[in-house]
Amino acid sequence: MRSGRFAAIGLFLSVLTSPVMAAAPIIPPPPEINATSFLLIDATSNKVLVEHDAHEQKPPASLTKIMTSYLAEQEIAAGRISETDEVLVSVNAWRTGGSKMFIREGTKVTVADLILGIVVQSGNDASIALAEHIAGSESAFANMMNQQAAMLGMNNTHFKNATGLPSADHFSSAWDLALLTRDLINRFPEHYSLYSRRAYIYNGIEQPNRNKLLWRDKTVDGVKTGFTNKAGYCLVSSAVRQGMRLISVVMGTDSDSARMRESQKLLSYGFRYFETQTLYEPGIVLKEKDVYYGELEKVGVGVAASVVATFPRGYYKSIEAELKIEKLLEAPLSKGDEVGELKLRLHDEVIYTAPLVVLEDVTEAGVFGRMSDFVSLFFSSLIDS
């Protein structure tokens, strides 16, 4: 079995869907963005559409609370806490400065209310109360935040608190925050829907969501604002148009209106000039290939996971697909064994690569079947030599 090994280019079978090289896409350059760091990605394909210093470590301010709410939802999903749990508000939570939900020391607040206070009202008091309920202390909760960040591949992130209030060694990056947001949307869609709420009333006080894009653009359904003097005005936003979801991150703008304006510019550019399509589904036979020494004479070859690509809008028919498959497939084969590679090209750029796998098991043939294939291959090699 030589699955996944390619000794020479002559061992590949190549198929191009179009014999003519597509014309190079013509799109304008990205807009000028007035921020110290920014990023625009497609949430499904993870394709980077626009970026500047996206991996630079920056103070995240209240963007931190995306992780705070993420961990809370994870604890609920695991059954370790419940939305109906009543959390006793500590002096530490009550005294915290900055944005507030206005919970009072010594009172009890449900986990569900605290989550809304974090997501909609950006309450520092709610963040600390929930962190203490989950982990016993805010510092222990920060340790959990860092463990989760490592699991998500947030390599330029380190948390010291649950709020995003200024602290030494508390930082993240536009890329890491986009990764976190993407995972939040995919893993906890019901929880993510809270980020689209425009206001929340607690203790008789109604506070609006600080993400003003929720009012300006009906396709925007989140995510979170942040501000400190050091971080500047920050915003992680996400929107869906025609089934395509984008995530934008801007950090270090100079005003509330600027973070909204710069985010809108990124989202508008992405939706206007790019599209995302599912090109191949798993389990669909892309090509049948001869198998030697097996009970089956042929086996279907396809992809193991959906092939989702982001590319310039209007160029779907210009994408070329190339299948490179090992020339000789020998039994036994197990479903999922890699036997080649799929490449998608647009003009001279490879926009996607994925392994090709066999789509069913192929057991080894009996003695006479194997002998017949051996003789067939022997004479084939004489002809080819």
Residue positions annotated with a catalytic role? 62, 65, 122
- Could you give the C-alpha distances from 273 to 27, 52, 66, 310, 315, in angstroms and in order? 7, 19, 29, 10, 10
Identity of residue 209:
N
Using the CB atoms, write b or e for 338-376: b if 16+ within 10 Å: ebbbbbbbbeeeebbebebbbbebbeebeeebbeebeee
Residue located via tokens 């980020």: 195
CA quadruple 216, 217, 223, 226: dihedral, nearest 10: -30
Q: Find the helix packing angle between 65-77 and 138-151, rounded to 10°.
A: 90
Residue 163, token pair as written in the block = 């709020």
Phi, psi of 147 (to 5 degrees): -65, -45
Q: What is the largest CA-CA distance in the chain?
A: 88
| Cβ contacts of 93 within 8 Å, gap of 6 or more | 103, 105, 125, 126, 128, 129, 132
CA 53 centroid distance within chain: 19
Residue located via tokens 């915290």: 96
Residue 285, token pair as written in the block = 């036979």
